[in-house]
Structure 1
Amino acid sequence: MAFDVEKIRAQYPALADGRAWLDGAAGTQVPQPVIDAVSDAYRVGMSNVGGPYESSRRAGGIVAEARASVADLVGASDPACVVFGPSMTALTYRFAAVLAAAWRPGDEIVVTQLDHDANVRPWVQHAQRAGAAVRMAELDPATGELPADHVTSLIGERTKLVAVTAASNVLGTMPDLQAITDRARQVGALSYVDGVQHCPHAHVRLADLGADFYATSAYKWAGPHLAAVVAADPWSLENLHPDKLTPSPDTSPERFELGTNPFAALAGVVAAVEHLAGLDSDADGSRTERLAVSRRSVQAHEDELARALFDGLAALDGVVRYGAPEGACTPTAFFGLPGKEPAAVAEQLAERGLNVSFGHSYAWEAVHALGIGPKGGVRASLSHYTSRSEVQRLLDALAEIAG
């Protein structure tokens, strides 16, 4: 493994300010190649697609390359499976509207307490309008786990959709996704998987996950503020017909994308995927092959840091970690200091040069299941550019604050 975190950090201008950026789950920083790609797209000039001139063809090429890049990143079968949008929330509402059009009274959907509300509320609201029943799979508040049998026991012959996260945005829990999606497929239900916190930390292969739809946000993996929903195959999109303007394209995936695509941001997506593919300097071959090597190197680096973080938190008096999953999880810790408001703890850490998140982080069902309510907790989330010394800075600061 040729993973050099200091060499990688040098590519991120924001990291030069001396702060410890431990808020990757809220959005990562952006490396210089992505900044350059976005600015170069504007500098060279672009026109809308469909014109008989170079600037228009250039924009079309950016869109095509962005679809191919995301397809490589998540192991999609075809770039035509990739739908872009401004955010995972917006895209999920878009898909909820078109999928719910076929739901009828007596049908059922399954959602979970582990999920970000963006993979709960759109489905619940549309189910209520359709008269479909909602089944909520409960997490284990003691461990932060979502046992697969809690989900599969709710999937029946009338189930139309199962919405489940691949990784919790606050607890880091990574449930047994394949067991869940296999059961959904057995009864003819679709699975919609929130991969926003999963994709930054894993080598993703859609076929292994069994997801019919997989959502990811580029700003969580060093790209611009842009999201994508990736279908398991183009056929999944061809049979869906969302509301659209009459003259706008009726081809797939274009008919799912409202208005003009942000071409410069998509150029940044391409650069971000290339950056991820090169995080291990020994990675070679096609982009897919380089991604496989680099993503596994990232996992090894982050696993080492996560263990130091989790063990360090466990050793601190006056710090309580919410949900400590024993199974697979991302390098994310959600914790509190009894008697201290999460906002106040985050502020004290900020004064010491440590950026962490606080609150419910839109994990609305989870914070209530954990019994901590909407004030939530403090979240430290590590990224591929996090260093071991930054983890220690956090632990030292927490010991001081708790003491």
Structure 2
Amino acid sequence: MSEQFAARVRADFPVFERQIGGRSIAFFDGPGGSQVPRQVGDAMRDYLLMHNANTHGFFATSEETDAVITRARENMAAFLNAPSPREVVFGANMTTLTFHLSRSLGREWGPGDEVIVSQLDHQANVAPWRRMAEDRGMTVHVVPFSAETYTLDLDALERALSPRTRLVAIGAASNAIGTVNDVARAARLARQAGALSFVDAVHYAPHRLPDVQAIGSDFLACSAYKFFGPHMGILWGRAEHLERLTPYKVPPASNASPERWETGTLNHEGMAGTAAAVEWIASLDSHGPGNNLRASLERAFRAIHAHETELFAALYAGLTGIPGVRVHGSPADGMRTPTAGFVIDGVSPDEAARRLGAEGVFVWNGDFYATTVCDVLGLSDCGGLIRAGIAPYTTADDVERLVTGVRALARG
């Protein structure tokens, strides 16, 4: 069943027509950005060639652009289970949106106030809050994670909360080692302390369908290019916050949310592609297209999760069975995404990625902007990690090629 699922997915991805050394490419680079299905490229091309215009004009292409933006908000609201499409903000990327939000939030805070970040997070969910705290004279507390269990210490988070805590920033999943965090608990603890919560779901969203209502956070951000879309960032915020806060914008720009948060002219073709990416995921629903996009997405993600879990178990077993290879992260059946961060004795991550890439097996190397993860694991001075992620288009043959390549590298 898993191979049938992968074959159905791969049929939509033109990139699998490419070959290296007479073989198709085994893409394990998804944690850095997934491949893109034909439907997404077609939607972006169609918008640019047939509907391109600025917004709110009294002519056809402008009205069609407004419709594209509306569809993108509606589709992302379904993807996130947001109460309203008016809570969906688009931007260049998650990092830019987070800096943007941090500046607006910081206007209300000052010396003596506190913000909490974690050691397990990508710098996009750390640096914006640190810079804001420096500007406003605030204190930053850091929640540690364990190098033995690879989990975040949420008890330490609870102890760090105080009446002066203004924000808790936490990742839903580690982009380096795959750990999935209990962000609902973190959001609940923040709320009980009178603080806001911000969730980075960039690495989480390609593998588990986000649900902002179940999580209970105040803000959540993700990136379309991680779930088969174009390079765009998406920020969800509770309507009460988006309306109350004062974003940095030019005076003539709309004062209505979410437009007041979207500085300048948007990437309309990217929004068309994002809407198409959500619809493409929903097309994986075995029940066929229906009227309820969220329900189709939930069924599609169950199929994605089953496929990725099966292949990751094989990848994890293969890698951990090779002498000289250490996989950092929870067991294959633990609370994690299908992303393996590992090292090979005597082989630097950049050399491993280079040699595997020459064989058509694409993996990432480095710290992936999760710098404190590599610091805690003692890997910062030796090149960080090799990272391989399972995606819906991954096959058992891809996994075997990666394991075989790593085994050869470990043998020297």
User: What range is the shorter-chain TM-score in?
Assistant: over 0.9
Letter in 2 for 1:357: W
- Residue 379 (structure 1) aligns with: 387
Q: 1:96 aligns with which of 96, 99, 102?
A: 102
Indicate whether 1:394 and 2:402 are aligned.
Answer: yes
Letter in 1 for 2:255: D
Unaligned runs of 5+ residues in structure 1 are none
* CA distance in structure 2 between the aligned counterparts of 1:176 and 1:147, rounded to whole angstroms: 10
* CA distance in structure 2 between the aligned counterparts of 1:153 and 1:178, rounded to whole angstroms: 17
Kindly report which structure 2 residues correspond to 1:77-92, keeping only aligned pairs within 5 A, or say none.
77-92=83-98
What is the DSSP-based 3-state SS (H/G/I as helix, E as strand, rest coil) of the residue aligned with 1:140? coil
The answer to which of 64-73 and 372-381 deviates more is: 372-381
* CA distance in structure 2 between the aligned counterparts of 1:158 and 1:356, rounded to whole angstroms: 43
Q: 2:249 aligns with which of 219, 244, 250?
A: 244
Q: Identical aligned pairs, as a percentage?
A: 38
Indicate whether 1:126 and 2:127 are aligned.
Answer: no
The answer to which of 217-226 and 145-154 deviates more is: 145-154
- Residue 189 (structure 1) aligns with: 195
Unaligned runs of 5+ residues in structure 2 are 19-23
Q: Does the CA contact (< 8 Å) of 1:15 and 1:21 recur in 2?
A: no
Q: 1:361 aligns with which of 353, 364, 368?
A: 368
* CA distance in structure 2 between the aligned counterparts of 1:105 and 1:277, rounded to whole angstroms: 47
Q: Does the CA contact (< 8 Å) of 2:143 and 2:154 recur in 1?
A: no
Tell me by how many angstroms 1:224 deviates: 0.5
Instruction: Kindly tell me the number of residue pairs found equivalent between the two proteins.
Output: 402
Tell me by how many angstroms 1:324 deviates: 2.8
Kindly report which structure 2 residues correspond to 1:307-326, keeping only aligned pairs within 5 A, or say none.
307-324=313-330
The answer to which of 30-39 and 10-19 deviates more is: 10-19
Q: Does the CA contact (< 8 Å) of 1:147 and 1:176 recur in 2?
A: no
Structure 1 residues 278-322: Cα deviation after superposition (integer angstroms, max 9, x where no partner): 113324431111111001111111111111111111111111112
Q: Specify whether residues 283 and 191 from structure 1 end up closer, same or farther in structure 2 by C-alpha distance, changes over 3 A only.
A: farther
Tell me by how many angstroms 1:158 deviates: 0.9
Letter in 2 for 1:299: H
* CA distance in structure 2 between the aligned counterparts of 1:53 and 1:336, rounded to whole angstroms: 57
What's the RMSD between the two structures over aligned residues? 1.3
- Residue 32 (structure 1) aligns with: 38
TM-score, structure 2 normalization = 0.95
Letter in 2 for 1:371: G
Structure 1 residues 88-121: Cα deviation after superposition (integer angstroms, max 9, x where no partner): 1100000010011111111111000000000001
What is the DSSP-based 3-state SS (H/G/I as helix, E as strand, rest coil) of the residue aligned with 2:380? coil
* CA distance in structure 2 between the aligned counterparts of 1:378 and 1:69, rounded to whole angstroms: 34
What is the DSSP-based 3-state SS (H/G/I as helix, E as strand, rest coil) of the residue aligned with 2:279? helix
Q: Does the CA contact (< 8 Å) of 2:51 and 2:62 recur in 1?
A: no
- Residue 172 (structure 2) aligns with: 166
Letter in 2 for 1:402: A
- Residue 15 (structure 1) aligns with: 16
What is the DSSP-based 3-state SS (H/G/I as helix, E as strand, rest coil) of the residue aligned with 1:223? coil
- Residue 304 (structure 1) aligns with: 310
Q: Does the CA contact (< 8 Å) of 1:116 and 1:362 recur in 2?
A: yes
- Residue 21 (structure 2) aligns with: none
* CA distance in structure 1 between the aligned counterparts of 2:287 and 2:259, rounded to whole angstroms: 37
Structure 1 residues 188-222: Cα deviation after superposition (integer angstroms, max 9, x where no partner): 11111000000100022111112211101000000
Q: 2:351 aligns with which of 344, 348, 373?
A: 344
Letter in 2 for 1:225: H
Q: Does the CA contact (< 8 Å) of 2:120 and 2:145 recur in 1?
A: yes
Letter in 1 for 2:370: A
* CA distance in structure 2 between the aligned counterparts of 1:122 and 1:321, rounded to whole angstroms: 30
* CA distance in structure 2 between the aligned counterparts of 1:297 and 1:144, rounded to whole angstroms: 27
The answer to which of 10-19 and 77-86 deviates more is: 10-19
Tell me by how many angstroms 1:243 deviates: 1.3
* CA distance in structure 2 between the aligned counterparts of 1:342 and 1:150, rounded to whole angstroms: 32
Indicate whether 1:76 and 2:76 are aligned.
Answer: no
Tell me by how many angstroms 1:35 deviates: 0.7
The answer to which of 301-310 and 108-117 deviates more is: 301-310
* CA distance in structure 2 between the aligned counterparts of 1:297 and 1:208, rounded to whole angstroms: 21
